Amino acid sequence: MSKRALKKYVTELKKRELEEQLLDLYTRFPVVKEYYDFIFNPKEDKMVQEAKAKISNEYFPLKRKRPKARRSVAQKYIKHFMKLGVEPHLIADVMLYNLEIAQTFSLERNVPESFFKSMLNSFTEMVQFISLNGLLPNYKERIVKVYNFTQDNHWCFQEGFSRALDILD
């Protein structure tokens, strides 16, 4: 169904019918429920803390022995936050946190080259996001700290990190 057809259908519905359909969607689909729960009671700080805990658990697990160190977990949260419309500064904070915790992890473990490539992608996306949302003054110090870590610890793809940082200039 196209957006145009949906709009026509919705305008033809009576108010009571529309309310019933909306309540039905709310009860049937967890995504719709989550969206409305967020719209009417945005507990952004709580959501960010939960995301950070999950990301941290990827690298430093509490219940299992071996870390999974998957970038996809953080990316899933970041994408979800963007869909919901979470404040950009909170999304940027989660993006930076993901890189910072991964860097701490890399000090303790021998990580494969794919890990560095993945972190380069995260770094590039984070720099672009911060640049587009005008958040550089708030996060410049943390970005530089992450970048310096990659250079000081001789991470693979150092040139890529430098190019990503050029976006800010």
Contact 77, 55 (CB under 8 A): yes
Q: What's this model's pTM, rounded to 2 decimal places?
A: 0.84
Q: Quick one: which of 71, 130, 127 has its CA closest to 101? A: 71
- Per residue in 60-78, is it b (16+ CB within 10 Å) or e — as a string? eeeeeeeeebebebbbebb
Interval 57-69 mean pLDDT: 89
pLDDT at 108: 87
Question: Which pLDDT score, from 0 to 100, does residue 125 have?
Answer: 95
What is the model's pLDDT at position 41?
83
Encode pLDDT of 65-110 as tens digits: 888 888 899 999 999 999 988 999 999 999 999 999 999 999 988 8
> Which tens digits make up the pLDDT trace of 4-50?
988 999 899 899 999 999 999 999 999 888 888 888 888 888 999 99
Instruction: Give the mean model confidence (pLDDT) for residues 141-169.
Output: 91
* Highest CATH level, class, for 44-166: mainly alpha
The length of the chain in residues reads 169
Q: Are 138 and 89 in contact (CB under 8 A)?
A: yes
Q: How far apart are CA 132 and CA 134, in angstroms?
A: 6
Domain boundaries, the chain: 1-41, 44-166
